[in-house]
Copies of this chain bind each other. A is one copy, B any other.
Amino acid sequence: MASVHNGQVSLGNYLLERLIQVGVKQTFGVPGDFNMPFLDLVEDHPNIGYVGCCNELNAGYAADGYARVTGKVGVVITTFGVGELSATNAIAGAHSERVQVVHIVGVPSTTLQAHQAVLHHTLGDAKFDAFLHIAQHITASTATLFHAETAAAEIDQCLATMLLKARPCYITIPTDLVNVKISAKPLETPLKPFVEHPSKEATEAFLVSRIAHAFETAKKPVVLIDACSIRFHVLDTVQKLVEKTGVAFFTSPMGKAALSEGHSNFGGVYIGEISLPSVREAFESADFILAIGTMKSDFNSGAFTWRMPGERTVELHSDHCVFQYGRFEGVTFQTILPLLVEAVAPLKESQKIAVNPFPKVLAAPSGPITQEGLWPLVGTFFKENDVIIGETGTSAFGVLETKMPKGAIFGTQILWGSIGWAGGSTLGAAVAAKESTPPRRTILFMGDGSWQLTIQELSTMARYKVKPIIFLLNNDGYTIERFIHGPNRKYNDIQPWKWTKLLDVFGAPEDAYATHQVKTFEELEKLLDDPGFGSADRIQLVEVFIGKMDAPRALKLQAEATARVNA
């Protein structure tokens, strides 16, 4: 470990070494009075990097996007009070969507804290714990380092809980502790991301045999894969289950692209009543459902219309399972799934469901671009291992019905749904995509209303020379909101921008970017067919003009449901 000398390491570097151990290569942040000593260590460390963002919310989003693409951990570094609170929404989103983000906050020295000095960046009341209390509501664990003696143990506990829960954690470092030397010994023991429960062995064996029996005796079993399967890294085992049994698998919106959508057993994205009719029909023909890592939120379940009756459904989760209404606490899919792969027999042909996962592709669409024609068309542009980000709005809903290529990583915020997220997240995703061998392409779909929230991170993309392909859907305002409420309200309008000039203004050199404007399918198709465009050798922004009141099928149905329940 680069920063360990004679068995000693500075407290700041201890934290960095732990982060490197869990797969972190890049961090995101904004400097401030109280985090600069820690940033010195990041800047000087040979094995970890730092991406300076334009603001902390965006840096938090970037850490989230980085974690989604690496499948590991994102890191955002902010300063006390002003910096950390700006990232609140990003951290809450990672908490909600179960993304592992470490929020590191540089805070005043232990002396200033002990003296309760009324410093700048405080609430003026000499209380130093208000921001901790805020963080506790949106993280799995917190560590407010104050004593060098216990700091390593606190860091380890905090990070391990993050890994165990797949939720963010929060660590504060006082300026005077950053360079204090502590023992590097604990670094020799890796952090444990998962707790085994040996006492549960009998329960597990019982449950596995019951599930296997139910699976084998079902007329038509299916598997539903959702977000937690991705977050808790059980997809390899799920893949084995699918291969061994030949069972049809579906994903939720949040589980989209968990396994290859080109697989012959892929049944489509199941969203209850909002599903494509052919997908819904196939899924609901099942009499037994193995649901893995489900998150039953409104937008993930078609406004709670998933048809999964308790007597015919098994739910496998990271901390419990449910079988025929019975809850098995502490029995996890990490232990159950490998046992199940062993126990279960291949399906008979009669048990298999015919699948039809995608909408009929329109024959050569032409004329002005429509949502209906757009999404199947961009699907033809995707390549293996692409990172594809869909912003909340028409993009997230539209791309749900686009076929994801093998190895693709799909990022969206179906549960948290914070507009603007994809702008920052794509920065982090693109930084992570560059780390892959070979590098992945990063492709973003985002509406004009949303991009306005976080647009400055386009500048950071240019600064750090990442090369996403950005489809900016210009539909003249908050179209998703127009469908939910107030289609003609002024509050759903935005200021029109000259989008294709932004990269120049944000300092991208002329040969480092390209911009395009497309209004018709012919123009779009020509662009997508251009190998230079597809090579993603520079940052590219495509302004796609599309109708103000045009939306993907799924969004229209979801918006109707949302408007109904709001009333």
Contacts and interface: CB of A to CB of B under 8 A. Distances in A.
B486 A39 contact: yes
Nearest to A493: B52
Contact of A118 (B95, B112, B298, B489): B298
Contacts of A550: none
A297 B122 contact: yes
Contacts of A418: 81-82, 86, 121
A554 B180 CA distance: 31
A52 B501 contact: no
A567 B118 CA distance: 17
Interface residues of A, number: 97
Given A459-B497, A505-B505, A117 B40 contact: no
Interface string A292-332: 00011111000010000000000000000000000000000
A175 B484 contact: no
Interface in A479-506: 481, 484-486, 489-498, 501-502, 504-506
Contacts of A85: 88-89, 92, 138
Interface in A179-197: none
Nearest to A39: B491
Interface in A241-272: none
A526 interface: no
A417 interface: yes
A455 interface: yes
A123 interface: yes
Interface string A53-86: 0111100000000000000000000000110011
B455 A456 contact: yes
A565 interface: yes
Given A117-B298, A416-B82, A497-B459, A92 B123 contact: yes
Contacts of A562: 33
A31 interface: yes
A137 to B, nearest CB: 4
B52 A491 contact: yes
Most-contacted residue by chain B among A31, A118, A501, A505 (CB, 10 A): A31
Interface string A37-56: 10110110000001010111
A393 to B, nearest CB: 11
Interface in A181-222: none
A124 interface: yes
Interface in A76-113: 81-82, 85-86, 88-89, 92-93, 95-98, 108-109, 111-112
A120 interface: yes
B81 A92 contact: yes
Contact of A566 (B175, B481, B485): B175
A141 interface: no
Contacts of A112: 565
A478 B55 CA distance: 13
Contacts of A565: 109, 111-112, 117
Nearest to A463: B495
A505 B96 CA distance: 35
A48 to B, nearest CB: 13
B52 A494 contact: yes
Interface of A: 29-34, 36-37, 39-40, 42-43, 50, 52, 54-57, 81-82, 85-86, 88-89, 92-93, 95-98, 108-109, 111-112, 117-124, 130-131, 133-134, 137-138, 175-176, 295-299, 304, 414-420, 452-456, 459-460, 462-463, 478, 481, 484-486, 489-498, 501-502, 504-507, 562, 565-567
Given A57-B86, A130-B137, 6 more contacts: A39-B486, A56-B89, A82-B419, A120-B299, A122-B297, A452-B459
11 contacts: A31-B486, A36-B486, A43-B489, A81-B416, A85-B89, A88-B89, A118-B415, A120-B414, A175-B567, A452-B459, A498-B507
